[in-house]
Amino acid sequence: MLTQSLVSDIIHQQRDFFKTGKTKDVAFRIAQLKTLKQAIVEHQPAIIQALRADLNKPEFETYTTEVGVIKEIDYAIKHIKSWTKPKKAAISVEQLPGFARIYPEPLGVVLIVGPWNYPFQLMISPLVGAIAAGNCAMLKPSELASHTSSVLAEIIQKHFDPAYIAVVEGGVEISKQLLAEKFDHIFFTGGTAVGKIVMEAAAKHLTPVTLELGGKSPCIVDADANIENTARRIAWGKFINAGQTCIAPDYLLVNQTIKQDLLDSIKKCIQEFYGDEPAASPDYGRIINQKQFARLAKFLQDGEIIMGGETNSDENYIAPTVIDSVSLEAPVMQEEIFGPILPVISYNDIQEAIAIVNEKPKPLALYLFTRNKNLQQRVLQETSSGGVCINDTVMQVGVSSLPFGGVGDSGIGSYHGKASFDTFSHYKSVLNKSLWLDPKFRYAPYQGKLQLIKRLIG
């Protein structure tokens, strides 16, 4: 395990490397992004194997939700030259002759702390932004996904100078050591409780943070929704990665008139996806560890199991499960589920559903299934969430042009595409004045000038 002094040494090396100015060269940034992409392509077999070992993740899901992060690299390479160009800013008449520009510049040395649920993609995606913006980066992958952590370390160590990008592996003690250091930005993805610890540590150094957290993302289904397509998209979004997705539909709010039809259709979709025995399906994952398994298993007592409910503690297996007759006060409705359990709550009027959403902390995502445009606008206006996806689930995360992030308890800041570049950049405002003309009205003595100033300001 690394000692505090070794962690500090790496950070000092990165600060020295950043001072050389090499990372500010756009051609250098593009070259590093291309290197990162090629490294991911070369190590795909190892990445697939590691994610299978950590989460029993199907190869298809690995490509679409983990290796697919190379799309973010392609997007950054395509747009980086326009992102890095200084932007003109308008100036008022009294500032003439002169001009204003806004210059994006890198922050310096940044820390990226990743989670265990998408342990590859959620480390690489923010790294793309850090590289594109011209920073050096320290990466701390989750020790709970140990196989993926090892592969990440191998990839970065093989292809990048640690004075530029480094991976530090380990548990809580290493995290504490890292958080005791001063960084120019900390990017954290994980749970709210740890997010508070990160923010508290960052405050001691006045370090800005991006916190990508989670919360109870509601899924509202109104009476006019297409039942078959809605059920399929909900089942897919809920049960990929065995429900361990920060933007998975956390609970279902369904109009009472279509409730039974929707549940019957969801049950049919689960059977189509995973067969009669999901435990034997090559396409269904496992819970990351015993601690999370035990936490989730308790939720099965919080309602009537209408499908699924089977568990196997030896394999950390929980079947795709839907529970009905759930109280809003039940534990399953009080914290983020982060597993393959879908509570169902019915409503008669949409205002009931909106009220339930607004009584809880602001979620990372909100899902709404309806063809009613007026209802879509009403839900958008009367609720607050990090993002919204209408008539689908989870797919919003794959749109690079949409900033991804939370609000309130679900997070601080955003990333993806240009938003990632912005997160790891400082926008420096520059006013450039000419010396050839120097009106004296702003200088003392002020006698006789006040009325002119009042007219100009008024």
CATH number of the domain residue 331 falls in:
3.40.309.10
- Nearest 5°: the CA angle 412, 369, 404 is 20
Same domain, 185 and 277: no
Task: Please check the confidence at residue 188 and state whether its pLDDT lies above 80.
Answer: yes
Same domain, 209 and 226: no
Query: Which of the following is catalytic: 136, 219, 246, 269?
Result: 246
**Domain-located, residue 441:** no
Residue 2 has a pLDDT of 54
Higher pLDDT, 452 or 5: 452
186 and 113 in contact (C-beta within 8 Å)?
A: yes
Query: Which of the following is catalytic: 212, 219, 336, 389?
Result: 212
* pTM score of the predicted model: 0.95
> Cα–Cα distance between 378 and 380 in angstroms, integer?
5
Task: Please check the confidence at residue 4 and state whether its pLDDT lies above 70.
Answer: no
**What is the domain extent for residue 63?**
4-213+408-430
**Domain-located, residue 442:** no
- Res. 235 pLDDT band, cuts 50 70 90: very high
Nearest partner of 345 among 267, 409, 263, 270, judged by Cα: 263
Mean pLDDT of the chain: 96
- Res. 9 pLDDT band, cuts 50 70 90: very high
Residue 1 has a pLDDT of 43
Same domain, 98 and 34: yes
Same domain, 124 and 177: yes
Same domain, 167 and 224: no
**Domain-located, residue 113:** yes
Choose one of 363, 388, 405: the last residue of a domain. Answer: 405
Same domain, 200 and 232: no
Mean pLDDT, rounded, for 340-357: 98
Mean pLDDT, rounded, for 274-290: 97
**Domain-located, residue 444:** no
How many domains is the chain built from? 2
> Cα–Cα distance between 13 and 22 in angstroms, integer?
14
Q: Where residue 45 sits, what CATH number does that domain have?
A: 3.40.605.10
Same domain, 80 and 127: yes
389 is catalytic: no
Same domain, 153 and 302: no
Percent of the chain topping pLDDT 90: 93
> Cα–Cα distance between 310 and 51 in angstroms, integer?
23
Residue 5 has a pLDDT of 67
Same domain, 112 and 229: no
**Domain-located, residue 457:** no
Same domain, 260 and 364: yes
Tokens of 320: 């795709």
**DSSP letter, residue 449:** T
Same domain, 247 and 126: no
Task: Please check the confidence at residue 386 and state whether its pLDDT lies above 70.
Answer: yes
Same domain, 274 and 194: no
**Domain-located, residue 440:** no
**Domain-located, residue 450:** no
Mean pLDDT, rounded, for 335-359: 97
Tokens of 155: 């990839």
246 is catalytic: yes
